[in-house]
Structure formats: C-alpha cells, structure tokens
Amino acid sequence: MVMKKLTCILIVSMCICINTIAQKELNTDNWYIFKVYTSGLQSDLNEEMLARTIEKKEMDLFCAFDYHSNEGYIITTDKNKIYQIEDLINSLIQKVTIQSYEEIPYTDELLLNIYSMRGNVMKKDIHKKLPPFINLGPKFEISNKLYTKVKDIWISFYPDSYKQMISEPKPLSQQEIEERNKKTNYKP
C-alpha cells in the first residue's frame, strides 16, 4: 500500500516537473508567420511604433518591419488575426499600409532573421554578435523566452563567433595601454 502511494506521488511529481520544463520553452508548432509587404514606413521609429502598436493591441506574438525593403514579419498564434492586423494598420496608422502578405513556414533561421530585424541588426551582421534583448513591454515572460530561443539558435548557427565572444580577452599591448590612458587622461 505504501509502495503504491509512493509510486503515485512519484508519477504526479514527474508530470508536474515535465510540464514546468515544457512551459519554459516557446511552442513554435502553433505559430503562423506572415511575410508582409508594406508601404509608407519611413524610419526606424516608424518600424518600432508599428510593431509596438500591434503588440500593444495583443494581436500578435512578435513582429518586425524594415522600411528599407518595405517588408516585415508578423508572428501570431491565431491565423485569423492577420485580417485584424491588416485592418488596424490600414485604418489607424497614417500613410502606412499593408499591400499584401503571405504565410511562410517557421524555421529557426527565419526566427533569427525576424528577431534581428526588430533589433535593427543588418542581415549581413547577424553572425558578428548575439542579437540584442528586445523587451516587449508587459509581455516580459514572452520577451525572455523569445530571447532565450533566439540566443540558442544564434549559438548553434555561429558557434565560432560565440566561442570568440566568451573567450578570455587578450592582454593589451603597451601601445593600447598608452592610448587608453590618453583617452581617459590617466597618468600613472
């Protein structure tokens, strides 16, 4: 009888632990990603304002836009939200419109590119350093989970860059020390 109770408690405990671990990661299986073609975006500030407006209305999970290419990405967990997002942008945001959009499949590379776009990291520079943390306002838990996922993807794609980033710094040469001292007006 005692053994059955212990076994039951152990099974329940394992289920709780597994569920807790599973909740720490983002479930990309229920994500819908739309590539949107826009017009009217004119600056980084417009991009950020548009993304924050959509996120504030809780219509998406994450989005990013690039005014240079007039493209953007919207990630949502409800496929039908794209219609509401399109209506919101076309009616509320002056001079900014969605011209068209298409659903595209999720890949780790795509998520890394979208996240980097939102962090204003050029595609050609993604390999150089970890993408910056992006705070999604009150969605702090999602911000952390999303960053953790993107960071893990970046490390798996660019292990050499990561190793270089975390390696011990090389000692400064005498010339570098003198230059640093001049900049800081330090006199030994």
Element (H, E) at 92: helix 81-92
pLDDT below 50 — which residues of the chain? Answer: 2-23
- pLDDT at 91 (0 to 100): 85
Please tell me the total number of residues recorded for the chain in this structure. 188
Q: What is the DSSP letter of 121?
A: -
- pLDDT at 187 (0 to 100): 65
Model-level pTM?
Answer: 0.74
- pLDDT at 186 (0 to 100): 64
| Residue whose tokens read 């004119």 | 42
The strand pair at 62-66 and 32-39 is best described as: unpaired
CATH code for the domain defined by 28-157:
3.30.70
